[in-house]
Amino acid sequence: MAKTQDIRRRIRSVRNTMQLTKAMKMVSAAKLRRAQEQMLRARPYARSMLRVLRSLASRVVVESHPLLEQRPARRVRVVVFTADKGLCGAFNAGVLRTAEAFVATQREQELSFVAVGKKGRDLIGRRRPLAAEWVDVFRLVEFATAARIARSLIDVQLAREVDAVHLVYNEFKSAIQARPVVQRLLPVEPAQLGAGETGDDYLYEPEPAAIFDALLPHYVENQVHQAMLESSAAEHAARMSAMDSATNNAGELIDSLTLTMNRVRQASITTEIIEVVSGAEALG
């Protein structure tokens, strides 16, 4: 009987956990809807700006602006976007594996790291020193926060403390899929001109320097903001999927425990009946 009580107690505990995971799934689904709408609205502008800047970088003299200057990448800064919270499946592990794979290709470079998100700060900070960290930024993804992060990256690039900046984040694909990507942020990677294209420069009004001074910082801010939006939407999708799997697993575990409890109870009843019959026969 004590074993039946233990199983019943465990079933109660698993049922409480299942209610929690089901609630977290619903919360993540609501947050995903908002984050996905915000990300999809911003994505066309971010991609168009990246395309224009890459085309621009392929046609201008790279020394015309420090953020376009292509230098040997001896010092590389890697910005890793992770979640501030756990319980989101392989979301954080996937982006960290991608970062480690990228680091493995940069053996001759001097690397520095910036962690955006608590999980990245905790995991990367144990192995490597961090140049900067940004936490509690995904509770509400704001352009002002992205602008501050971008400004710090622009400053080190202008001061020639680093030669290149790369972003590592989860790109949102669907509610069940995200793809970790590595994107070079600075200097702007020139587009490859096609066979029929020429490298002729644009006509500028006003001067090119004034346009670059206004356009390039905004480009960096926009790309950092888009990476945050993509990461936020992918995080909510991963957490919703993980909580859905946890809820289903809890239901299966409850069914299995209930079956076990019924078997134990039936065995206990059978044993008691045998004892009664045996006693009656002994008395007879």
**Main-chain dihedrals φ then ψ at residue 178, nearest 5 degrees:** -135, 150
Of 78, 88, 227, 233, which one is the catalytic site residue? Answer: 88
Q: Which residues pair with 186 in a beta bridge?
A: 165
Residues 260 and 248: their CA atoms lie apart, in Å, by 19
b/e 236-265 (16+ beta carbons within 10 angstroms → b):
bbbbbbbbbebbeebeebbeebeeebeeee
Catalytic annotation on 88? yes
Other C-beta atoms closer than 10 Å to the C-beta of 101 total 12
Torsion of CA 187, 99, 84, 90, to 10 degrees: 140
DSSP assignment letter at 105: T
Residues in the chain: 284
Taking phi first (over 0 means left), then psi (-120 to 50 degrees means alpha), and beta for anything else, what does residue 160 get?
left
- Alpha carbon distance 82, 124 (integer Å): 11
Question: Left if phi > 0, otherwise alpha if psi is -120 to 50, otherwise beta: which for 103?
Answer: alpha
Q: Name the residues annotated as catalytic.
A: 88
